[in-house]
Structure 1
Amino acid sequence: MVFGFGDKGVTIRDAHFPGRPGIDSYGNGGFRFADMSHRGSLLLLPSGVYGWEQTEEEPITRGSLARVFSEAGIEFLLLGTGRQLRLVDPDLRSALKAKGIATDPMGTGAAVRTYNIMLAEQRPVAAALIAV
């Protein structure tokens, strides 16, 4: 998507950070990591950190986790479901399991803390975190 006048437009790209940082803090609708802040939800994958268009009100679906399904090297997915725990749809859990990914839903705060620990242990973890 390009915005601007004439040939001097600004290109807007999807949010992406190519590293595997821990999350320094969360709340107020976003996250802080790697001396940066991001407003909105996040996917933390082996290939990097991505902005995620997911809110607490929307169901988490295979489509909303498409980037997770296309990623290699994930054995465990932490689902930060917002302020409160939301269960994972059984069909989604089965689809993740078929790809070799175990999943554990929990509130976003617990998911952030667990992700940081598993990342420090160099485990094959990813996280899908809904902003709170």
Structure 2
Amino acid sequence: MKLHPDRLEGVNAVFGHGPGEISVNTTVYRHSVIVPWVGEIIDWQVAGFEQLTADHFARVAALKPELVIFGSGPRIRFPAAALMRPLIERGIGLETMDTGAACRTYNVLAAEGRSVVLAAVLSAGT
């Protein structure tokens, strides 16, 4: 699905997503990514939802956002509370949704100037 976000200068935006890929700014990614509101897109070493660990969320928490939008894949899946501990300990909010909804929500919040991070799980065929 193509998205046409309103963009603030220097803010990352998702321009599209589909099975196994996400387009951020001018680049298409075919692996899980962390998209901070500003700065570089980060390769998130997650092959699929089942491989998530607390260390994956610690990497997201290190960016110090006010909110994390977690795209769990083609359907909504909630990570265990133990995995989210790095976010909880820092008082960082987490919203979980399927990756398509997460992309759209991230764009709205980033366009509002919020310090938001999209953590999107992508795997082949999802």
Interval of TM-score (by shorter of Structure 1 and Structure 2): 0.7 to 0.9
Runs of at least 5 residues in structure 1 that lack an aligned partner in the other structure: 1-18
> C-alpha distance in 2, partners of 1:83/1:55?
14
Shift of residue 99, structure 1, vs aligned partner = 0.5
Mapped contact 1:43–1:127 kept (Cα < 8 A): yes
Higher helix fraction (1 or 2): 2
Shift of residue 70, structure 1, vs aligned partner = 2.0
Q: Match for residue 66 of structure 1?
A: 58
> C-alpha distance in 2, partners of 1:43/1:71?
10
Shift of residue 62, structure 1, vs aligned partner = 1.3
Runs of at least 5 residues in structure 2 that lack an aligned partner in the other structure: 1-9
Mapped contact 1:118–1:125 kept (Cα < 8 A): yes
* Structure 1 residue identity aligned to 2:62: S
Number of matched pairs: 113
Pair 1:81 & 2:72 matched: yes
| Closer, same or farther: CA 108–35 of 1 in aligned 2, 3 Å | same
> C-alpha distance in 2, partners of 1:31/1:23?
7
* Structure 2 residue identity aligned to 1:58: E
Mapped contact 2:71–2:118 kept (Cα < 8 A): yes
Mapped contact 1:20–1:49 kept (Cα < 8 A): no
Higher strand fraction (1 or 2): 1
Q: How large is the Cα RMSD of the aligned pairs? A: 1.8
> C-alpha distance in 2, partners of 1:71/1:33?
18
TM-score, normalized by length of structure 1?
0.75
Shift of residue 91, structure 1, vs aligned partner = 2.1
1:1-132 equivalent positions in 2, closer than 5 A: 20-45=11-36, 46-72=38-64, 74-131=65-122, 132=126
Mapped contact 1:20–1:48 kept (Cα < 8 A): no
Runs of 4+ residues over 6 Å off in structure 1: none
